[in-house]
Structure 1
Amino acid sequence: MKSAVETLNPTRVRLTVEVPFEELKASLDAAYKKINQQVTVKGFRQGKIPARVIDQRFGRGAVLEEAVNDALPKFYTEAINEAELNPLGQPEVDITELKDGELLSFTAEVDIRPTLEIPDYSGIEVTVDSVEVTDEDVEKSLEQLRDRFATTSPVERAAAEGDIVTVDLEAKVDGEVLEDGVAKGVDYTIGSGQLLDGIDEAVTGLEAGGTATFTSELKGGSAEGKEAEVKVDVTAVKSRELPELDDDFAQLASEFDTLEELRADSRKRLERMKKFDQATQAQEKVLDELIKLVEVPMPEKLLEDEVNTRKHNLEHHQLGQMGLDLAKYLEIQGKSAEEFDAELKEQAEKGIKTQFILDEIVNKEKVSVGQEELTEHLMRRAQSSGMSPDQFAQAVVEGGQVPMLVGEVARGKALATVVEAATVKDASGEVVSLDDEDEDGETAEATTEA
C-alpha cells in the first residue's frame, strides 16, 4: 500500500491511498463467504456456492463492493498511522479507481488535530479575590444554621411577614377555573417570594379562616403567562420560632459544647470555602490567559458538531428536566436566538481550544495519570452523576470511556502545572499560594471539565 498526504489547511488533510489488488484477497474471501450465507442457488448447498457461480449469478461488482467496504477502514487506519496523524471525526472517502485484479485507489479527507506551539507560560499573572472572612460572614452563617433548626407552632392571630400560612388556592382566567388552577394545603412563608406575585399582600393580616382575592401572572401550568384572578383561603397560621444563639444551640446543631467553638469552626469553614473559590478563580483566569497566548486553528466541522451537541443536550436534557423549551428559556434569559447561537459558538470554541492546548501540554510536560488519581476522579464523577462508584465504573468500561476519563485527569494536571508556573496575586497584591488547596489538581480538573 502507498499513501500520500496533502495539507488542505492547518486542520484538514487529504490522504491519497493506492492498494495493490492482492492486498484485497482477505476481504474478497470474506465477501464471497458472506454472500454465500445470504443467497441460494439451485443445485448447490447454502455456503458451498463456487465463487465463479456467484460472479455469474450476482455479478462480480457486488462482490467487489462488499470487499472494498470491508477493507477501506483497515487501509485508511494504516495510512493515518503511517502519516502519524491525529484525526478528528469520520473521514469523507471517495473511491477514485477500482481495477479488478489490478488496483484500488481512494482519497480520504478528514479533520486533524492541529499542531500547536506552546509558548513560555511562566509569565502569566492574574489577580484573584482576597480570602477575607468578616464577623458579618460568620454571623450570617450562624443565622442560616439557626434557621434550619427553627420550629413552628399554630397561632390565633393575623398573619405577618415571616409566618407560615397554610392556604387553598383557586385560579380563574376569563372567569373560568383552570383545571390545574386548584391547590389545597399549600404551606407558604410570607415574604419568601416563592409562590405568586401578590400573595404576600393578600394573606398578610388574615387569620385562619380568612379569604382574599388578588390578581397575578401565572408562572407555570396551562395558562402560563396569563393574568389570573386568584382566590386564597387561609386555613392555618403558624409562627416560626428560632432557637436562642447560645451554648445549648451549639450542642444541638453541632459537635461543639460552646457557641464560641461553633463560631470559630464556622470561620474556619468559611475560610476553606473562600480559599477553594479563590483557587477555582485562579484556574479560570490562568486558563483564559493561556488561551490568549496560543494560536489555535479551529476545525470547522468539529466546531459545528460541538455546537450542535451542546444545543441538543440543553434542549433535550437540561431544559426538559426543568419543563422548559428553548423559546421559553431564551425569554427568561432575555436573549435572542442569534445572541444564544453566538454565545454557544463562543463557548464551544473555548472548550475545543482548551482541550487542544492542555493535551499539547500533557505531551510536552509528559504528564502521566496514576491508578489512584484515576480512581479518585472516577469517584468524584460518580458522585456528581448520582450513580454509585461501581455503577459508574461499569458504565465507563462498557462505554469504552476510560481513555476519556484519563484525558480529563491529565488535562487537569496540565492546567495545575500552568497555574503553578504562573503568578497569582490577591486584590491586595499579595502572592497567593494554591499548593495546599489543590495538591492533586482537583480544582483544575473541575475547571477543564466545565
Structure 2
Amino acid sequence: MKIEVNSAGKMQKEILVSLTPKEMEQFLINATRQLSIGLKVRGFREGHIPRNVAESAIGKDKLWQEASKEAIESSYIEIIEKENLHPIGRPWINILKLAAGNNFEFKITIPIMPQIDMPDYKQIAKDVVKKKKKDVSVEEQEINDSLKWLQKSRKDNDTSEFDDKFAQSVGSFKTLEELKSNIKEGLKYEKEQKAQQRIRLEVLDKIAQELDLEVPEILLQEELDKMQNELEQQVAAMDMTLDKYLENAKQTIVQVRNEWEDTAKTRVLNALVLRLIADKENIEPDEKEVEERANRYLMQFKDVKDAEKNINPDYLRLYISGIIRNEKVFELLEAVNVK
C-alpha cells in the first residue's frame, strides 16, 4: 500500500492511497465469499459455487463495490495507527480510480485537532461568571401559575380552592405550604440550570473567539447531518415523515440545512473548545463510569437485549465518553469560580 499524507489547512489531513491489484485480491476474495451467501446457481450446491462462477453471477460492479468498501475500511484503520493520526470526525472518501487490472486509488479526508496555543480559559471562565452570574429567585406569581396549571391538568377538571386538601390530592403533601415549597424548589432548580447553560455557552463562545478557529467543511456537514437526524426523530414522534414535515413547512431539506449553518458552526466550535481543554488538562472519563452510564442508557428501553442489538456498543461508549469528558471540563472551569 502506497500512501501520501498532506495537510489541508489547520484541521484537516488528506491521505492519498493506492493499492495494487495483488493487494486488492484478498478483498475481492472476501467480497465474493460475502456476496455468495444465499446465492443460488443451477448445477451447484449453495455454498459450494466456484469463485469464477460466483463472480459472474454477482456481477463485476457489485463485486468491486463490496471489495473497495472493505479495502477502504481496512486501509483507513491501518493508516490511522501507522501515521499516529487522531481524527475528530468521520472521514470523507473520494474514489479516484477503481478498475480491474489497475491500482485502486482513493483519497481520505479527515478532520484533526489543531495544534494551537490555548488562551487562559480559566480566567475567561472566571470573568464571564463574574459578569453574568446572578442570584435566582422565584416570584409568588410563578408559584400560583404553577398551581393553576396543576389544577387545569387534572382529569376531573377540579376547580376547588388551593388549600391543604388540594395539596394532599396532588401528591404526598400534607399542607398547601409543603406543595408550594416543592414547586418553588423545582422552579428555582429549573432557572438555575438554564442560567448555568447560558453561562457555559458564553464561556465557550469567548474561548472560541480567542482561538479564532475555522470550522472544517467536513465537521460542519457532519453536524448538519446530526441536526437533520434530530429533526427526523422529532417529527417521527409526531407520526410524521420528514418529507411530509418539509411539505407542510414549504421548505426543502437544503433550505433547512442552510438555515441551520450558524447553529451547526457554533455547536462544532463548542465541541472543539471542550476537546482542546480536555486534551490540555489530560481529562479522560473513567471506564467504569462509562460502562455504568451505558448500562443505564440501555435500561431505558423496554427490551434491553433488543436495544443492544440495534445500538453499536462502541459508538454508545464513545458518545457517553464525550458527555462525561465535557462534564468534567465544565467542572474544572466552574471550580475556578469557587476558589
Q: 2:140 aligns with which of 135, 139, 143?
A: 135
The residue that corresponds to 2:183 in the other structure is 266
**Distance (Å, rounded) in 1 between the aligned partners of 2:96 and 2:80:** 16
The residue that corresponds to 1:303 in the other structure is 220
Q: Offset at 1:75?
A: 3.4
Deviations 1:36-83 (A, max 9, x none): 99899x9xxx7678x9xx9xx9xxx99x96997464543343233222
The residue that corresponds to 1:171 in the other structure is none
Indicate whether 1:285 and 2:202 are aligned.
yes
Bigger strand fraction: 1
Do the aligned partners of residues 344 and 65 (structure 1) sit closer, same or farther apart at CA in structure 2, a change above 3 Å counting?
closer
**Distance (Å, rounded) in 2 between the aligned partners of 1:20 and 1:329:** 51
**Distance (Å, rounded) in 2 between the aligned partners of 1:36 and 1:380:** 38
* Structure 1 gap ranges (5+): 153-239, 424-432, 436-450
DSSP-derived class of the 1:418 partner: helix
Deviations 1:82-129 (A, max 9, x none): 2222263232133499988xxx57352413224253332112214145
Q: Offset at 1:7?
A: 1.7
Do the aligned partners of residues 293 and 257 (structure 1) sit closer, same or farther apart at CA in structure 2, a change above 3 Å counting?
same
Do the aligned partners of residues 75 and 374 (structure 1) sit closer, same or farther apart at CA in structure 2, a change above 3 Å counting?
closer
Do the aligned partners of residues 307 and 267 (structure 1) sit closer, same or farther apart at CA in structure 2, a change above 3 Å counting?
closer
* Structure 2 gap ranges (5+): none
**Distance (Å, rounded) in 1 between the aligned partners of 2:166 and 2:65:** 78
DSSP-derived class of the 1:13 partner: strand
Q: Offset at 1:246?
A: 3.0
- Higher Cα Rg: structure 1 or 2? 1
**Distance (Å, rounded) in 1 between the aligned partners of 2:29 and 2:177:** 83
Q: Offset at 1:282?
A: 2.8
Deviations 1:315-346 (A, max 9, x none): x5434627563354379xxxx99985543111
**Distance (Å, rounded) in 2 between the aligned partners of 1:33 and 1:318:** 40
Q: Offset at 1:141?
A: 3.3
Deviations 1:186-225 (A, max 9, x none): xxxxxxxxxxxxxxxxxxxxxxxxxxxxxxxxxxxxxxxx
The residue that corresponds to 1:113 in the other structure is 112
TM-score in terms of structure 2 length: 0.68
**Distance (Å, rounded) in 2 between the aligned partners of 1:2 and 1:247:** 79
The residue that corresponds to 1:344 in the other structure is 260
Q: Offset at 1:350?
A: 1.9
Conserved? CA contact 1:303–1:348, under 8 Å:
yes
Aligned residues: 316
Bigger helix fraction: 2
TM-score in terms of structure 1 length: 0.54
Deviations 1:237-270 (A, max 9, x none): xxx6323x33333333343333334433433333
Do the aligned partners of residues 134 and 380 (structure 1) sit closer, same or farther apart at CA in structure 2, a change above 3 Å counting?
farther
Do the aligned partners of residues 73 and 132 (structure 1) sit closer, same or farther apart at CA in structure 2, a change above 3 Å counting?
closer
DSSP-derived class of the 2:123 partner: coil
Do the aligned partners of residues 416 and 306 (structure 1) sit closer, same or farther apart at CA in structure 2, a change above 3 Å counting?
same
**Distance (Å, rounded) in 2 between the aligned partners of 1:67 and 1:248:** 70
Do the aligned partners of residues 73 and 337 (structure 1) sit closer, same or farther apart at CA in structure 2, a change above 3 Å counting?
closer
Give the partner amino acid of 1:251. Answer: Q
Indicate whether 1:413 and 2:328 are aligned.
yes
Among all aligned residue pairs of Structure 1 and Structure 2, give the percentage whose two residues are the same amino acid.
Answer: 18
Conserved? CA contact 2:93–2:109, under 8 Å:
yes
